[in-house]
Structure 1
Amino acid sequence: MKLAFSTLGVPGLPLPDVLRLASVHGYHGVELRAHPEEPVHPGLGPGERADVAAEFKAAGIELVGLAGYARVAAPGDDGPVIEEVRRLVDLAHDLGTPFVRVFPGADPEQSRESADAIAARRLGTAAEYAADMGVRILLETHDSHRAAGDAIRVLGLVGHRHVGSLWDVMHTWLAGEQPSESYAALSPYLGYVQVKDIASADDTTPLPLGAGVLPLAECVEVLSRHAWDGWLCWEYEKRWYEDVPPLPELLGPGREHLSRLLNESA
């Protein structure tokens, strides 16, 4: 497995500095938070996109994927949501990355059946465009569909190889699933895995990897046992928890922790 980190942990940091951190601390890739407040987002022009792709190539770092914020199960018209996903797909294509992340984002008032149907319809429509662009849309285990069992209801309805899953190990754990259960459900669709650590189910303040309660060893073990060989991406939610320690000082120990788990599970 290859190791990456998300720029959610270094909000607003210029791309050259992000790539330098990855190189110095031994990470193979970076997931970019594709938001207007970040250096890389769907509003970039063709020249800026070419520059970003060139910077990754020169640094020898892979762009794992783009973390977007489209809410595919949210109530309302399909058009704006599909357009948001298409813009993410366009950016991913231009930057040469295979994945874009979307959220479920259903409202509590929606029925499960309605939310699933809305998400599947929009993802199915966007999938045809993504296929033409050579990009996969990944539905993250998050918010209204935090369990793997929730996500695969939607993915099963879509039934398109260019729509898959992004396994956020915190959300499936908070939903009460064991890593083996989550992997079994998501494995036919799995794009990559987001790892992190937290203090408790009631306190999701981000912690250094290995310092909290999430079953990271079990997650790595089940992935290794099934010879899964994709990305482990550390999503340290510094953007939402401004008072936590800076990610750069944690990257080295975090890589060492993940490497140790990989060695122990080999």
Structure 2
Amino acid sequence: MKYSICSISFRHELVSLLELVRFAGDSGFAGIELWGVHGLAALRQRPLDIPLLTEEMDRRGIGISMISHYADLNADAAGFPAVEKHWQELIELARAFRTDKIRIFAGNRGSRECGVRDWETVALRLRLLADRAAQHGIRTLIETHPRTYADRLESAIRLIRDADHPGIGINLDFLHLWESGTSPEEAWRSLRPFVLHAHLKNVLRADGGHVFAPENVYAPSGSRSGMVPLAEGAVDYRRVLPLMQAACPDVQASLEWFGRDPFHYLSQELLWLESVRASPGSSKLSPSL
């Protein structure tokens, strides 16, 4: 498997993209998941630095695994042209950083809260945005995430099928589907044909997922209580990671860390992930795919 750091992990650190490139390369990561906020700022303020960054990434053998950003698929009719304009900016950003994936959330309310017309609108708009990105060889990923139309296994599969576009895939966040009652193994087996990326993070207890609510994790004063390394949390990654490795050895995953001291955490986490890959016990797990 190929692992990436997330630039969003450093949202409260005074650190440049060049420093992140060097850290990722020196630590053994395959890439960086670039938060759209960071990427758009670089494109707007220092566009001439981007070719230098991509050259440095080439030299170190890493790349931008995907752009992670947002598109308001629930905007009213009058507001959607602004969404389309912003989407074009994200396509230009992906091209500048030479990545072929943009991740967004599917809507801004839970799948059980939406009506038939809401669902049809989101699926149609998702297909429209995906089609525009696909014209540039870029795939559109929807994340399995609470308070979106892909908040459960069933709704994620339905949305993929209803949007019906080959350029649409899944960014599989195991923790969030686990919160909804789906084990990591079941999530992987059911969504494997659509998974183009994965997010890895963990919590200490089953009732601790609220710590990842956007209004908390993006706030400098937000609580970090319950955010723990992958090996120490309630979600058991020791079983699903070998399944993924056996079936799709080139699948990409990002370590989505929102806690303190990201340099130390990410370095140690990669060592643990490599130990899971090398563990004799893990190789005995039956893929059962």
Aligned to 1:224: 245
- Equivalent residue, structure 2, for 1:107: 109
TM-score by length of structure 1 reads: 0.87
Provide the rounded CA distance (Å) in 2 between the counterparts of 1:157 and 1:123: 10
Q: CA deviation at 1:103?
A: 0.6
- Structure 1 Cα separation of the partners of residues 176 and 125 of structure 2: 23
Q: In structure 1, what residue type is equivalent to 2:274? A: S
**Equivalents in 2 of 1:14, 1:60: separation in Å?**
19
Tell me, in whole angstroms, the C-alpha distance in 2 between the residues paired with 1:112 and 1:249. Answer: 45
Cα distance 1:148–1:71, how it changes in 2: closer, same or farther (>3 A)? farther
| 2: CA distance, partners of 1:259 / 1:115 | 43
Greater share of helix residues, 1 or 2? 2
Residue in structure 2 matched with residue 153 of structure 1 by the alignment = 158
Map of 1:255 onto structure 2: 270
Q: CA deviation at 1:203?
A: 2.0
- The structure-2 alpha-carbon separation of the partners of 1:163 and 1:170, relative to structure 1 and needing over 3 Å to count, comes to same
Give the 3-state SS of the residue equivalent to 2:228 in structure 1: coil
The 3-state SS of whatever aligns with 1:66 is strand
C-alpha distance in structure 2 between counterparts of 1:189 and 1:71, whole Å: 22
Question: Is 2:86 the counterpart of 1:71?
Answer: no
Q: Which runs of 5+ in 1 are unaligned?
A: 239-244
Aligned equivalent of 1:133 = 136
The ranges of structure 1 where at least 4 consecutive aligned residues each deviate by more than 6 angstroms after the TM superposition are none
The reply on whether 1:94 has 2:96 as its aligned counterpart is yes
Structure 1 position 19, deviation (Å): 1.2
2:176 to 149, 153, 171: 171
Shift of residue 191 of structure 1? 0.8
User: What secondary structure does 2:182 align onto?
Assistant: coil
Change (3 A) 1:81 1:200: farther
Residue of structure 1 equivalent to 2:261: 246
- Contact 1:3/1:27 (8 A) holds in 2: yes
Deviations 1:168-202 (A, max 9, x none): 11111111101222123321211111101111232
Q: Is the 8 A contact 1:7 1:32 kept in 2?
A: yes
User: Bigger CA drift: 211-220 or 131-140?
Assistant: 211-220
1:46-98 CA deviation, whole Å, 9 max, x = no partner?
534434423322333211001112233x2423323333333212211221101
Structure 2 counterpart of 1:234: 255
Q: 1:216 to 1:90 in 2, by over 3 A?
A: same
Find the aligned partners of 1:71 and 1:233 in 2 and give their Cα distance: 23
Q: What CA deviation, in whole Å up to 9, does each residue of 1:136-188 have, x standing for no partner? A: 01000012222232212111012211111100111111111012221233212
Question: Over the residues paired in the alignment, what is the CA RMSD in angstroms?
Answer: 2.1
Structure 1 110/147 Cα, relative in aligned 2: closer, same or farther at 3 Å? closer
SS of equivalent to 1:153 = helix
Q: Distance in 2 between matches of 1:151 and 1:85?
A: 21
Rounded Cα–Cα distance in structure 1 between residues aligned with 2:8 and 2:125? 26
Indicate the residue corresponding to 1:242 in structure 2: none
CA distance in 2: counterparts of 1:60 and 1:44, whole angstroms: 22
* Aligned match of 2:216: none
Work out the number of aligned pairs and report it.
256
Distance 1:119 1:43, change over 3 A: farther
